[in-house]
Structure 1
Amino acid sequence: MKQQILALGLVTGAVLFTVESAFAQSRKCAPRTTIVERLAETYGETRQSIGLATNNTVVEVFASADSGTWTITVTNPQGVTCLVAAGRSFETLNEAPTPASLGEPT
């Protein structure tokens, strides 16, 4: 599941940074320390996974095992972090990876 979420984050991050600058200005962004502190204090979320995306951007997944909330962020090389997606019902899975060509298990 972590790999799937990270893959989603990487794809989302790549798409996110290719949109027009007007859209980029409307996203919820702040210095990374501000975002990380707010996720921890408000939602009890901690970093669950991390990956490097295009343009040296860092994609991170934060989540809380207690509340089940999760957030995907993208941080640019200047240290500005933007919220990409958030939701509920986060679960950590220990599944063996399967090739994408096999699709979902039956």
Structure 2
Amino acid sequence: MIRIPLPPFAILGAAIALGGTPASAQTSCGPREQLVKLLADQYKEGPVGIGLAQPGQVLEVFASSNGTWTMVMTMPDGKACMIAAGDNWEMVTKIKGSPI
């Protein structure tokens, strides 16, 4: 799958705006449930990692089998924002004795 650098942001903005907001007002944030559904439907991405960033903030990485990935930060109020996206995701397994 070939990705143009910002389509997830434009698609999410359009989905959240429900077509009633001008393009200049589109955002890459919205309810987590909508964002997760968008990533699954449009890019076939599912959760592959999760961690606590700041008190109450959760960082998640979603990835697809074809290598696309998206990082999402969810706030305590349930609002989620895409903070990064890209291609060529690979899962790394920690090797016993490895420093990483």
| TM-score after normalising by structure 1 | 0.64
What count of residue pairs does the alignment treat as equivalent?
74
- For residues 94 and 63 of structure 1, the distance between their equivalents in structure 2, rounded to whole angstroms, comes to 15
Q: Could you tell me how far 1:95 is from its partner in structure 2?
A: 3.3
Query: Aligned pair in 2 of structure 1 residues 63, 56: CA closer, same or farther (>3 Å)?
Result: same
Q: Could you tell me how far 1:52 is from its partner in structure 2?
A: 0.8
Query: Aligned pair in 2 of structure 1 residues 56, 26: CA closer, same or farther (>3 Å)?
Result: farther
Match of 1:72 in 2: 71
Q: Please, which moves more after superposition, 86-95 or 69-78?
A: 86-95
Q: Could you tell me how far 1:56 is from its partner in structure 2?
A: 1.2
What letter is aligned with 2:55?
A: N
Q: Could you tell me how far 1:26 is from its partner in structure 2?
A: 7.8
What letter is aligned with 1:40?
A: A
| TM-score after normalising by structure 2 | 0.68
Query: Is contact 1:32–1:81 with CA below 8 Å preserved after alignment?
Result: yes
Match of 2:81 in 1: 82
- For residues 82 and 92 of structure 1, the distance between their equivalents in structure 2, rounded to whole angstroms, comes to 23
Structure with the higher helix share, 1 or 2: 1
What are the residue-to-residue correspondences of 1:1-106 with 2, within 5 Å?
28-65=28-65, 67-96=66-95, 97-98=98-99
RMSD of the TM alignment (CA)? 1.9
What letter is aligned with 2:99?
A: T
Flag structure 2 segments of 5+ consecutive residues without an equivalent.
1-24
- Identity across matched positions, percent: 41
What letter is aligned with 1:94?
A: T
Structure 1 SS opposite 2:55: helix
What letter is aligned with 1:56?
A: G
Q: Could you tell me how far 1:27 is from its partner in structure 2?
A: 5.2
Flag structure 1 segments of 5+ consecutive residues without an equivalent.
1-24, 100-106
Query: Is contact 1:27–1:83 with CA below 8 Å preserved after alignment?
Result: no
